[in-house]
Amino acid sequence: MKKNSILLIMILACISLGSCDDYLNIVPKGKKVPSTLADFEAFLRDEYTIGQTPIYNALYLLNDQYVWKSSLNNMTLTRANYLWDESADRITLNKADEGTYYLLYAAISSCNLILENVPTATEATDAQRREIMAYAKVIRSLCYFVLVNYYADTYEAATAATTPGVPLITSSIINAPSRQVTVQELYDFIIQNIKEAIEQGLPQQSMTVIHPNLGAGYALLARIYLQMANYPEALRYAGLALAQKDELYDWNDYYNRYSDIIEDPEKFDKLPTPTDYAYVENYYFRHGNGSPNYATAEITIPVERAERFEEGDARFLSRWKRRTVNQDTYYTGIGSGYFNWGGLTTCEMYLIKAECLARQAGNNDFSKAMDALNAVRRTRIRPDVYQPLQATTEAAAIELIRRTKDNELIFTIVPFADARRFNAEGTYARTMTKTVDGKTYTLTPDSHLWTMPFPAGATQNPGNGTITQNVPK
């Protein structure tokens, strides 16, 4: 968190508590206590504090991110997840992987600060205040969605009311009381907040792409209802999001533009990623594992993961190339820039729509579901390879949709959340297997590894509340 942000939060916390000594309320020279709407809106632009969504260990568990062989020699949290080691005590190992927890709760704290203080902010109309509060509610809801799908067992309607979730914090005051709510309580909270944001006037055109617009509100609700297996509502909100914005980026055009570099196996030039702030598919841009302070490179993926992309996928071909360095063979990223690995896009909505239509198809007519899927594929698959996909069963349709979705949304929380949802449902659960150096590894759908342990810093210093681990190890 940036020093200025920390200072402002501390000042506001003291003001809110009303118990700080007078000298603490004296504003340091060169600083200011935020009071205007513009002062509070600035918190939404501090992307280092409010805009990161690191989910490294979910990527390691899925084997979506390559881990160097030298990094697998010692027992670490990364190794335990990457090699699906159920005997590892991940609770003990989780003494350093705190980014997911603390960065997301830092963002939540900023949103809480905005929601507490914007109603009395100066130099603003009521409509302007409502808009800023709507942004904060959507961002806070997205952060909680990631947290509950990372540190708690996945949502199941029959057990969500008794399944332990994550701490719910609605105050920015230092040492404010918190409670580890159930998964159902958390989902109810985030759905209510998004709907309130929409009612408060979440704008069709937001201030910037890092301010979630109305389409983002609908898109987040579609994602949440899909995770709850409420397919009618997920379909409805995906449709509302696409009514706001439905553009898809033409990856074939991108491939043609940079084909001389892409097609040369010896060239590993860093190409400018189109998935940045200006990406036409964005509803809301949010950093994932990349830093907002400087451009980053595309994440490296394992050979086995690369093989799961569809033949002729221009998006894949434009992003990775096979490479061997010493003992490691992998697909290295050839893209560079800022990546929307934590936000919301039109592509996700097409694929949510496709799955929901497949699950609700009458008379085994999956044409509408395949139409939604093929709308995405037409902008991805090379013209000499592309053929529209068809399905005659729900299982076949789901398999095709899931393949595209896992590939399209790689490095986001979505493939991890989807895998947990499919595992809980049972019908389309998968057992994952791989062979490394002659040894076979397996990850079953009911493995405890699908829920990440809270970091030691959180459980040992829970503040004014308690945190109980949701996994045995």
pLDDT of 236 over the 60 cut: yes
What is the secondary structure of 388-437 as a DSSP string?
----SSHHHHHHHHHHHHHHHTTTSSHHHHHHHHHHHH-TT---EEEEET
pLDDT of 281 over the 60 cut: yes
pLDDT of 436 over the 90 cut: no
In residues, how long is the chain? Answer: 473
- pLDDT > 90 in the chain, percent: 86
Residue ending a domain, choose from 319, 337, 355 = 337
Q: Which helix (H) or strand (E) holds 128?
A: helix 126-151
Residue 467's CB is within 10 A of a number of other CB atoms, namely 20
pLDDT of 229 over the 60 cut: yes
First vs last Cα of the chain: how many Å apart? 30
Tally the domains of the chain: 2
Q: Do 130 and 74 share a structural domain?
A: yes
| 8 A C-beta contact, residue 349 and residue 241 | yes
Mean pLDDT value of segment 232-253:
98
Q: Do 272 and 234 share a structural domain?
A: no
The larger pLDDT score, comparing residue 210 to residue 29, is at: 210
Does residue 450 lie within any of the structural domains? yes
Does residue 23 lie within any of the structural domains? no
pLDDT of 11 over the 60 cut: no
Question: Which band of pLDDT confidence, cut at 50, 70 and 90, is reported for residue 362?
Answer: confident
Question: Which band of pLDDT confidence, cut at 50, 70 and 90, is reported for residue 7?
Answer: very low
Q: Do 242 and 368 share a structural domain?
A: yes
Q: Do 283 and 428 share a structural domain?
A: no
* CA–CA distance, 291 with 49 (Å, rounded to integer): 11
Does residue 19 lie within any of the structural domains? no
- DSSP 3-state assignment of 201? coil
pLDDT of 16 over the 80 cut: no
Residue 425 tokens read as: 């449902």
List, for residues 133-178, the tens digit of each pLDDT value: 999 999 999 999 999 999 999 999 999 999 999 999 999 998 888 9
Mean pLDDT value of segment 449-461:
94
β-strand 179-182 against 164-168: which pairing, if any? antiparallel
Does residue 8 lie within any of the structural domains? no
Residue 179 tokens read as: 């409670």
Between helix 394-408 and helix 346-359 the angle, nearest 10°, is: 170
Does residue 406 lie within any of the structural domains? no
Q: What is the pLDDT of residue 22?
A: 38
Containing structural domain, residue 184? 34-246+344-399+413-460
Does residue 139 lie within any of the structural domains? yes
pLDDT of 25 over the 70 cut: no
* CA–CA distance, 248 with 350 (Å, rounded to integer): 10
Residue ending a domain, choose from 337, 354, 370 = 337
The larger pLDDT score, comparing residue 269 to residue 305, is at: 305
- DSSP 3-state assignment of 446? coil
Residue 465 tokens read as: 């509340």
Q: What is the pLDDT of residue 437?
A: 86
- pLDDT > 70 in the chain, percent: 93
Does residue 452 lie within any of the structural domains? yes
pLDDT of 75 over the 60 cut: yes
Mean pLDDT value of segment 309-334:
97
Mean pLDDT value of segment 359-375:
94
Q: Do 333 and 221 share a structural domain?
A: no
Q: Do 179 and 125 share a structural domain?
A: yes
In which residue are the tokens 């198809």 written? Answer: 361
Q: Do 348 and 272 share a structural domain?
A: no
One-letter amino acid identity for 250?
A: D
Q: Do 91 and 70 share a structural domain?
A: yes
Q: Which helix (H) or strand (E) holds 171?
A: none
Q: Do 439 and 368 share a structural domain?
A: yes
- Detail the DSSP E strand segments found in 27-103: none
Question: Which band of pLDDT confidence, cut at 50, 70 and 90, is reported for residue 8?
Answer: very low
Mean pLDDT estimate for the chain: 92
List, for residues 169-221, the tens digit of each pLDDT value: 999 998 888 999 999 999 999 999 999 999 999 999 999 999 999 999 999 99
Q: Do 150 and 38 share a structural domain?
A: yes
CA distances for 289 relative to 282, 303, 340, 341, angstroms? 17, 21, 10, 7
pLDDT of 417 over the 60 cut: yes
Q: Do 113 and 43 share a structural domain?
A: yes
200 φ/ψ angles, rounded to the nearest 5 degrees: -75, -10
Nearest to 99 by CA among 140, 58, 145: 58
Does residue 297 lie within any of the structural domains? yes
* CA–CA distance, 340 with 282 (Å, rounded to integer): 8
Mean pLDDT value of segment 220-242:
98
